[in-house]
Structures are given as structure tokens and as C-alpha cells.
């Protein structure tokens, strides 16, 4: 069965420093996608970054980058130059695809999350 | 701007009540999802729908049902609310193509007394 593991329940980082949030996954499908979402205290889920399993380069979006190591089945999120507003829960997720006779559908499997606190 | 809305941010119900949580998206997305979020467990999928009137069970469907009569609206129903259904409920939608990024609503924090 497909699975996402985030082993860090909580992380602390100093403002302006970089931080890495760990994510490992398990799947036997050759085609999959990996996502990172941010959830501030307000509760909304904010999409940050996406990496497809066939993408040759690591995804980047502004201060976010995804360190994709396919052989190790890891998809760590790197936040450069942390800001106080980065304090939030961060979830790693993997797309799971299912097929039926007339098509298919996708759903996401989420990890337990990592709570990041940025200190001034 | 893409938008997923949920009918309530906070809801308090009593044990045994029938509870309706409504979700509406304005992006013409095929897929819609209901999750519950509990501390230390992440988001767990309750039900999802990939087309009007179509539904599939997620990982924890027990005690819940859903309805999708129109493409833009996906309802989660607690037939007889119980205290262990106190949780944050998140609705999401996605297209059926591309990365299938899911767009989330603001969430409904449900308390069952």
C-alpha cells in the first residue's frame, strides 16, 4: 500500500536560516506525484510545490525547493531564508491513481505533518 | 481566483443529530474530496467523488455518507453524530488532468457534544 512518512513532529529554525522538512514515501507505481502543503494556524491548506516522478529536475517555487531522491524514495522540502510567516504545519502528500473500466481518478495520501516554528 | 467554500467554519452539534457539511467549488473541477484532520494523524480521506452522482469510499467512511447532485457541490453527511466525529473537516477539489493539485476550503471545525 502507498504510504507517506514524516518523521519530524516538530522543527525549530532561526529566522533567515534554511530548514529541511523530511518526507519519505512508499509506492510500487512508476508514475506518481508528490506535493507539499502549508497549513497556517488559520486552518487553510496552501499548495506549495509539486514534483512528478518523471521530472528530471527538482521542483522549485521561490524560497521552496523539493529535494527529490527517487532511489531513496524521499521528497524533502527545503525552505530557504525562513521568515516568521513560515511558522505553520507542513504536509507531504502523494498522488495515488486508480483505474476503472471507463477511466481513472486520483487521490492524495497525506503524511502526519511537521509543525515548523520560526524564531526571531 | 479559484475558490472552495464550506458552509460553516465552526459547528456545534449534539450526539445523535444529523449533520450536513456543504462544500462548493467554482472551478468546474471533476473531483471533490472530504477529509478529516486530527492531531498527529494528518488528513484522512473520508469519501471522494470523481463525477456527478459518483462516489467512492476513502480510508475512513464509517459513520459518513456523501451526496453529489451537482458538479460544483459535494455534501458530507453524518447520519447520527457521535463524539468521536469531533474533528476538523476539510473539503477539496481537483481537475482530472495535470498534477491533480487539490484546492482546499477553509475547513469546518465540528464539535459533537
Q: Encode pLDDT of B33-92 as tens digits.
A: 999 999 888 899 999 998 898 899 999 999 999 999 999 999 999 999 999 999 999 999
Bridge-based pairing of strands B10-13 and B108-112 is: parallel
Q: Which pLDDT value is given to residue B47?
A: 95
Q: How confident is the model at residue B98 (pLDDT cuts 50, 70, 90)?
A: low
Q: Which pLDDT value is given to residue A106?
A: 78
Q: In the predicted model, is pLDDT for residue B14 greater than 90? A: yes
CA nearest to A112 within chain B: B42
* Phi and psi, residue B37, nearest 5°: -120, 125
* Phi and psi, residue A86, nearest 5°: -80, -10
**Which regions of chain A are under pLDDT 70?**
1, 99-105
Q: Which pLDDT value is given to residue B35?
A: 96
Residues 6+ apart with CB under 8 A from A75: A23, A24, A25, A34, A36, A51, A66, A67, A68, A69, A92
Q: How confident is the model at residue B97 (pLDDT cuts 50, 70, 90)?
A: low
B11 touches chain A (CB under 8 A): no
Interface contact A44-B106, CB threshold 8 A: yes
Q: Between A and B, how many residue pairs show a Cβ–Cβ distance under 8 A?
A: 64
Contact residues, chain A to chain B, C-beta under 8 Å:
4, 6, 9, 33, 35, 37, 42-45, 47, 50, 52, 91, 93, 95, 103, 105-113
Q: Which pLDDT value is given to residue A37?
A: 97
Q: Which pLDDT value is given to residue A103?
A: 62
Amino acid at each position: 500500500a502507498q504510504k507517506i512518512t514524516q518523521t519530524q513532529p516538530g522543527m525549530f529554525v532561526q529566522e533567515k536560516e534554511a530548514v529541511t522538512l523530511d518526507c519519505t514515501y512508499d509506492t510500487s507505481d512508476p508514475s506518481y506525484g508528490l506535493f507539499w502543503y502549508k497549513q497556517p494556524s488559520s486552518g487553510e491548506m496552501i499548495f506549495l510545490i509539486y514534483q512528478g516522478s518523471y521530472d528530471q529536475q527538482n521542483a522549485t517555487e521561490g524560497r521552496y525547493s523539493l529535494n527529490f531522491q527517487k532511489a531513496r524514495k524521499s521528497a524533502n522540502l527545503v525552505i530557504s531564508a525562513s521568515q516568521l510567516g513560515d511558522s505553520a504545519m507542513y504536509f507531504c502528500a502523494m498522488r495515488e491513481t486508480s483505474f476503472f473500466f471507463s477511466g481513472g481518478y486520483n487521490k492524495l495520501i497525506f503524511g502526519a505533518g511537521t509543525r515548523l516554528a520560526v524564531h526571531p | 481566483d479559484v475558490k472552495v467554500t464550506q458552509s460553516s467554519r465552526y459547528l456545534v452539534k449534539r450526539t445523535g443529530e444529523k449533520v450536513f457539511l456543504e462544500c462548493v467549488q467554482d472551478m468546474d473541477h471533476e473531483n471533490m474530496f472530504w477529509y478529516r484532520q486530527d492531531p498527529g494523524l494528518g488528513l484522512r480521506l473520508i469519501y471522494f467523488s470523481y463525477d456527478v452522482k459518483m462516489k467512492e469510499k476513502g480510508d475512513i467512511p464509517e459513520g459518513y455518507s456523501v451526496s453529489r447532485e451537482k458538479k460544483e457541490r459535494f455534501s458530507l453527511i453524518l447520519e447520527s453524530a457521535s463524539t468521536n466525529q469531533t474533528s476538523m473537516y476539510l473539503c477539496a477539489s481537483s481537475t482530472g488532468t495535470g498534477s491533480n493539485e487539490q484546492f482546499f476550503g477553509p475547513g469546518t471545525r465540528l464539535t459533537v457534544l
